[in-house]
Structure 1
Amino acid sequence: MGMKNSETGAPPHPGFGEALRVWLAIGVLSFGGPAGQIALMHRMLVEEKRWISESRFLHALNYCMLLPGPEAQQLATYIGWLLHGWRGGVAAGALFVLPGLVVMLALSLAYSLFHQTGWLEAVFFGLKAAVLAIVVDAVIRVGRRALKNGLMVAIAAFAFLALFVFSVPFPVVVLSAGIFGYFGTRLRPDLLAPSRAHAAAAPDAPSLIGEDWRAPTETPLAVLRTGLVWAAVWAAPLVLVVPLFGWQSSFAAIMGFFSQMAVVTFGGAYAVLAYVAQQAVEAHGWLAPGEMLDGLALAETTPGPLVLVLTFVGFLAGFRAPMGLDPVAGGLLGGFLAAWVTFVPSFLWIFLGAPFMERLRDNRPLSGALSAITAAVVGVILNLAIWFGLHVVFRSIGERSVGPMRLTWPDWASLDPAALALSLAAGVLLVGFKFGIVPVLALTGAAGLALQLLG
């Protein structure tokens, strides 16, 4: 890819250094779980930088939604690969995780030594309110452009209801949409095509990575090499762990357990947290009952994927069974190993699968499947946005099961006026005054800190 000419209206190709700065900024600002992180990338990469078109962004997101592991980190890796090849993918995926990992290790250390982390909630109070506004804005923007006809609106609605009301497992929702789109397009090729009104009302803005971009063809030997290299990177820490501590050590157990989790974490962190907590407490004795909730609270107030909570578990495991090391050193090693085997597999999935996904974009049935998944993903993001919004604006949330339905509603008496006011103010700044994300986060963060100081 070279420089784009001025006739297309697309921006010039960013240098690698410029891309690094943007990926680092995304990593530092990626609060709010997957909904907030996807919204942040959409705003910065599609709306502001125009490095990738709306349709290509959604195509990448659809593939990442089908993979185990943190979909937002995988999306960053995919887009980084589109921009600068494998080095761009590594840089984007690593910088998306590293800021949150450093913060999470520091908080895990503070938790292990002092067990006092309540101050952190006040520090990030204002940031969460801004993230809520960013998420809502992203749902509106993505929905307006992704839902091309009435059928896709219906798919999004069914996906939202399946998740929010009936608690259908996330992979079932996404795969069902894909199967419907695949076979529906085979029977009626125009089933998921955009309506004329939609095509006229919501065209893609000129972008660096548009519809004419094509992935280079990879030979079978190159595919095999990619798989072997990243599988070796995944297992690389064993070269030090096994000779120094043995196969029966806590560190080998951390690598083995969280490597298994990396393969089965479909639908994000919440899909496996209960199982991880049970195994960490009962089978391994790494955590005391209730400590998983403390780790989750820390992960929710730090940048990066929510699955960083597994770093907290690994830290406590290494801290309490340091295998002859100083407990702090054991904790840092345990947390690092948990993060390594959790996030490195994402690079394997992207570098193996993304080239095939790019070449299959012209396959009509597959495009139909991904279009249906696009619609379902809008419902998924809406579900995450409402869940996140309820927990930001209200201090207490109620749930009740009625047959197959799980009804969730806020305790209106627990409404937090300050959180609501900050969220509305952030929305006005973002949408009404067109402020950038960084100034809005800075202003709401300062407001949250001021509220804490004022009591």
Structure 2
Amino acid sequence: MDTAERPTPIALRDALRFWLKLGFISFGGPAGQIAIMHRELVEQRRWISERRFLHALNYCMLLPGPEAQQLATYIGWLMHRSWGGVAAGALFVLPSLFILIALSWVYVVFGQVPVVAGLFYGIKPAVAAIVVQAVWRIGGKTLRNPAKVPVLWSIAAISFVAIAFLKLPFPWVVLGAALTGWLGAKVAPAQFQGIGGPAHAQSTGGPALIDDDTPTPEHARFRPARLAAVLAVGAVLWLAPMGALVAWQGWQATLTQMGWFFTKAAMLTFGGAYAVLPYVYQGAVEQFQWLTGPQMIDGLALGETTPGPLIMVVAFVGFLGGWSQQVLGPEARFLGAALAAVVVTWFTFLPSFLFILAGGPLVESTHGKLHFTAPLTAITAAVVGVIASLALFFIAHIALRTGTSVAFHSRIDVAALALGGLAALALLRYKLGVIPVIAGCALAGLALRMAGWG
């Protein structure tokens, strides 16, 4: 393509082919997914300019929910109105949903086979290392110099203690952080200055279809009537399936409670999937007992090794919950589990679409204003402490061998801890990718199990 010419308008069907492709290649977590979209959309196809791409990304980083999926939704919406945004966001998720349903079935049916058990024995320490890396990465961006931002460090430390030791509910931690940020913007605004955005990549040197000077499309401008219409449609899309579940199985039924629980979880995903995982753990493992703690770690490993947003681990949680609770009866365990995965995915991602389609213009009007960004900065600081508590939980689960009654010091799983340490070194020091680290640990775990360890 001649870089001096502006690309021709893209038909919706051509855009859909790209969004479907993206759904199958979006590995590497949000950072990797955003990098793929930047390379494809800004550098190669020039559908959107560098500045407009980063502007859209900044919107998504201010919202709860998976920012990479929301970014795809936003760009699809900007290019092809609401249906374009819905299609882009849905195709970002659907391949991962079908893959995870298949892998979850393999897990529940063949998970105790020695080969599969050995692979997961090695994967668990890798997942613990990945969570430690998340603490390091998000903490490095958020907390910065402790001498300059002691308030943010204090928020992170208090959040860690509140979740790890006091067992306070995650929503209360988020609310406390938000109130602290709101007050802090008035009392100590320098402590809550916004986190720096991503570095600008090299300019592509040619005009983009949606360029810096391209006017905001008519459909993307704020209008109260349009906002009301989108919210009304969103309310129907939430109320209709929830009402159907209540009428079919009752409010206390597993599927209904999954829909309600993951609606609440979707509102709390500031800071990415790792931020909401402690809340999901509290509900799915401790409160409802849809799955066990070790199974939660296995689900996170599957989520890390499949395309799509990491929050898709909720599909694994839904599948195992539907399987264990036999939501459609013992004769239809797979169908019930698959239905539970679909229900969980629907209620988790519906708010993300509404945040973009309804709230995009509103977020744009408040972007960069400290009274709006300070609570989000405080929440992100709390997220560092919350993820640190999750890392502690994972490390504790891999540190001790199960199924033995010997003394405590003899139960310490040295091999698992060593694998976790090597995985952390590979991720933090040598910057290896998540997939190679998980694959290497999985093979090491298989070798250790075949040798009789664990």
What TM-score comes out, normalization by structure 2 length? 0.67
Q: Are 1:448 and 2:445 counterparts?
A: yes
Q: Are 1:130 and 2:126 counterparts?
A: yes
**SS of match in other structure, 2:431:** coil
Output the CA distance in 1 between the equivalents of 2:55 and 2:392.
24
Using the TM superposition, give the Cα deviation of residue 365 of structure 1 relative to its aligned residue in structure 2, in angstroms. 0.9
Number of equivalences: 379
Query: Pick from 121, 134, 137: which aligns with 1:141?
Result: 137
Output the CA distance in 1 between the equivalents of 2:422 and 2:378.
34
In the alignment, which residue of structure 2 is the partner of 1:205? 199
Give the alignment's Cα RMSD to 1 decimal: 4.5
Unaligned runs of 5+ in 1: 6-14, 30-39, 65-70, 281-290, 397-409
Query: Pick from 18, 41, 44: which aligns with 2:30?
Result: 41
Output the CA distance in 2 between the equivalents of 1:428 and 1:373.
28
1:23–1:375: structure 2 CA closer, same or farther, 3 Å change rule? farther
Q: Are 1:368 and 2:367 counterparts?
A: no
Query: Pick from 338, 341, 349: which aligns with 2:340?
Result: 338
In the alignment, which residue of structure 1 is the partner of 2:69? 77
Q: What does the per-residue CA deviation read over 1:56-98, in whole Å, with 9 as the maximum and x for residues that have no partner?
A: 979756642xxxxxx5xx4443233245442332233334444
**SS of match in other structure, 1:77:** helix
Q: Is the 8 A contact 1:76 1:96 kept in 2?
A: no
Output the CA distance in 2 between the equivalents of 1:118 and 1:296.
19
Using the TM superposition, give the Cα deviation of residue 412 of structure 1 relative to its aligned residue in structure 2, in angstroms. 4.6
1:218–1:317: structure 2 CA closer, same or farther, 3 Å change rule? farther
Output the CA distance in 2 between the equivalents of 1:162 and 1:55.
35
Using the TM superposition, give the Cα deviation of residue 316 of structure 1 relative to its aligned residue in structure 2, in angstroms. 4.8
Aligned-pair identity (%): 25
Output the CA distance in 2 between the equivalents of 1:137 and 1:438.
14
**SS of match in other structure, 1:425:** helix
Q: Is the 8 A contact 1:223 1:352 kept in 2?
A: no
Output the CA distance in 1 between the equivalents of 2:141 and 2:295.
37
Q: Which moved further from structure 2: 81-90 or 334-343?
A: 81-90
Q: Are 1:436 and 2:433 counterparts?
A: yes
What TM-score comes out, normalization by structure 1 length? 0.67
Output the CA distance in 2 between the equivalents of 1:193 and 1:337.
44
Using the TM superposition, give the Cα deviation of residue 450 of structure 1 relative to its aligned residue in structure 2, in angstroms. 2.2
Query: Pick from 407, 414, 425: which aligns with 2:411?
Result: 414
Q: Are 1:305 and 2:313 counterparts?
A: yes
1:393–1:83: structure 2 CA closer, same or farther, 3 Å change rule? farther
Letter in structure 2 aligned against 1:433 = Y
1:76–1:45: structure 2 CA closer, same or farther, 3 Å change rule? closer
Q: What does the per-residue CA deviation read over 1:405-441, in whole Å, with 9 as the maximum and x for residues that have no partner?
A: xxxxx95542222222222322333334333222222
Correspondence list, 1:18-167, <5 A: 23-24=23-24, 40-42=29-31, 45=34, 60=60, 63-64=63-64, 74-85=66-77, 86=85, 87-108=87-108, 110=109, 120-148=116-144, 149-151=148-150, 152-167=152-167
Using the TM superposition, give the Cα deviation of residue 179 of structure 1 relative to its aligned residue in structure 2, in angstroms. 0.8
1:4–1:382: structure 2 CA closer, same or farther, 3 Å change rule? farther
Correspondence list, 1:177-196, <5 A: 177-193=177-193
Using the TM superposition, give the Cα deviation of residue 349 of structure 1 relative to its aligned residue in structure 2, in angstroms. 1.3
Output the CA distance in 2 between the equivalents of 1:19 and 1:331.
32
Output the CA distance in 2 between the equivalents of 1:184 and 1:89.
35
Unaligned runs of 5+ in 2: 5-14, 43-49, 78-84, 204-211, 269-275, 304-311
In the alignment, which residue of structure 1 is the partner of 2:272? none
Using the TM superposition, give the Cα deviation of residue 105 of structure 1 relative to its aligned residue in structure 2, in angstroms. 3.6
Using the TM superposition, give the Cα deviation of residue 18 of structure 1 relative to its aligned residue in structure 2, in angstroms. 6.6
Q: What does the per-residue CA deviation read over 1:259-309, in whole Å, with 9 as the maximum and x for residues that have no partner?
A: 2333344653223234434xx8xxxxxxxxxx7679657646643425633
Q: What does the per-residue CA deviation read over 1:201-257, in whole Å, with 9 as the maximum and x for residues that have no partner?
A: x88422599xx9999434334434434545555577799x89xxx955699955434
